[in-house]
Amino acid sequence: MNELLNGIPWGAIAPILVLQLILMITAFVSCIREENTNGPKWLWILIILIIQLIGPVLYFVVGRRND
Partner 1 sequence: MTQWTVLYRKEMTEMMRNYKMIWIPIVFILLGVMQPVSSYYMPEILDTFGGLPDGTILEMPTPTGTEVLMNVLSNYGMLGVLILVLSAMGVVSAERQSGVAGMVMIRAVPYSSYILSKWAGLLTITLISLFIGYAAAWYYTGLLIETVAFERIFQSVVIYSIWLVFVVTLTLLFSTIMKGNGSVAFVSIFVVFAISTVTSILGKYMKWSPATMTEHTGQVLLSGELDSSFLLAFITTIAIIIFLLILSIQIFKHKELLE
Kindly state the smallest distance separating residue 11's Cβ from partner 1, in Å: 8
Triad 45, 51, 52: Cα angle to 5°: 115
Contact indicator for 52, 20 with CB cutoff of 8 Å: yes
Contact between 5 and partner 1 by CB under 8 A: the answer reads no
Contact code string over 11-50 relative to partner 1, x by CB under 8 A: -xx-xx--xx-xx--xx--x--------------------
Task: Indicate the residue among 30 and 49 with the shorter CB distance to partner 1.
Answer: 30
Residue 65's φ and ψ, nearest 5 degrees, are: -70, 135
